[in-house]
Amino acid sequence: MIAMDTPSIGAMRAAYYEWLFILAREEAESGCPRLFSFKGALPMYFADLTASWTTEKRFFLISARIKKRITVDLGLTGTSTLFELTPAEAEVYSELRWPLAAGWRTAGKPGAIYVSRRTGFRMEMDAEKLPEALRSEASSLGEYKLNRRRLKAEIASAMKPAFGDPEKQHGGVWQYVTDVSGVSVRTSIDFAGRRPSQFRYSQPVFASGPLGGRLFNAVGVCGLLGFTHNEWTYVTEEDVPASAVLLARVCKEFVDAMPGILDRASAIDRMQRN
């Protein structure tokens, strides 16, 4: 059940997306500290692609990716212009062509030759995708193995100041439950994914109480790139402390934002009633 004073689910989702756009502007203007430090396949590809871009161009791409994600989440694809891209956003949107979704080669882009260390296979691909191909092969060869005990210890230590100790569940999933302004944020960290996954996180929001239903899913920091999978895949032993700190940071930022998101959602509900 949802408490009578809890904003509507639609208003909460709308307020969350407004916050995500604010975060996008902050991320771009501060040099993308979250995305450029995130040792995951998509964020690292984004960093390779945009390393020499201007702040504004990065923001236009991030904003466009968020808008496209929203149209999917709200089922508006092909039926609404509510989140239509601006001309500047449309111009850069197609430049982030995630290899697994769009292929490795794009006509008109500078190319590079990838040679597999394992098989000798050669393939021409977009130059900015070559680092991802090399990382992917290195992962398949077992070169991103971690001391799992140390990884978990670092993450537990980084999360503890804001979240306390996790509830350790079966299947390699930790959960932290945080009650905020009448809702419950359930921060989950999953260590059980198959390679190349090293760990991932999610933060769905529920109505408070043992019978509280799910209200909405926060898509996490990779929502800035239009994806829902917040997954670390290329962490080295050297990266472990910084990756643990980044995980704790992005999880806490969302929890800290919830009171403002709920206030904004209540305001949206009031405007819709009047």
Helix (H) or strand (E) holding 139: helix 130-140
* Predicted confidence (pLDDT) per residue in 37-62, tens digit: 999 999 999 999 999 999 999 999 99
pLDDT at 163 (0 to 100): 97
Of 3 and 70, the structure prediction assigns the larger pLDDT to 70
Has residue 80 got a pLDDT over 90?
A: no
Return the beta strands (E) in the chain as ranges.
Answer: 111-115, 122-126, 167-168, 173-180, 183-190, 199-207, 214-218, 230-232
First vs last C-alpha separation in the chain:
25
Could you tell me how many residues make up the chain?
274
Closest-CA residue to 129 (of 49, 57, 207, 74): 49
Domain boundaries in the chain? 9-97+145-273
pLDDT tens column, 227-248:
988 999 999 999 999 999 999 9
- Per-residue model confidence as pLDDT tens digits over 157-208: 999 999 999 988 888 999 999 999 889 999 999 998 888 899 999 999 999 8
pLDDT given at position 211 = 67
pLDDT at 3 (0 to 100): 47
pLDDT digits (tens, 9 = 90+) for 93-110: 999 988 888 899 999 999
Q: What percent of the chain has pLDDT over 70?
A: 95
Q: Give residue 262's pLDDT.
A: 95
Place of tokens 């808008």: 67
- Give the confidence band of 1 by pLDDT, cuts at 50, 70, 90: very low
pLDDT exceeds cutoff 50 at 213: yes
Is the pLDDT assigned to residue 79 strictly greater than 70?
no
Question: Does pLDDT of 148 surpass 80?
Answer: yes
| Secondary structure (H, E, C), the chain | CCCCCCCCHHHHHHHHHHHHHHHHHHHHHCCCHHHHHCCCHHHHHHHHHHCCCCHHHHHHHHHHHHHHHHHHHCCCCCCCCCCCCCHHHHHHHCCCCCHHHHCCCCCCCCEEEEECCCCCCEEEEEHHHHHHHHHHHHHHCCCCCCCHHHHHHHHHHHHHHHHCCCEECCCCEEEEEEEECCEEEEEEEECCCCCCCCEEEEEEEEECCCCCCEEEEECCHHHHHCCCCEEECCCCHHHHHHHHHHHHHHHHHHHHHHHHHHHHHHHHHHHHHC
Residue 206 φ then ψ, to 5°: -120, 155
Residue with tokens 């191909």: 133
Structure tokens at 269: 């509900």
- What local confidence, expressed as pLDDT, does residue 132 receive? 95
The answer, yes or no, to whether residue 34 has pLDDT greater than 70, is: yes
Is residue 77's pLDDT more than 70? Answer: no
Residue 2's pLDDT band (boundaries 50, 70, 90)?
very low
Rounded Cα distance, 42 and 63, in Å: 16
Q: Which range, 8-12, 60-64, 76-80, 268-272, has the best average confidence (pLDDT)?
A: 60-64
Mean pLDDT rounded to a whole number for the chain: 92
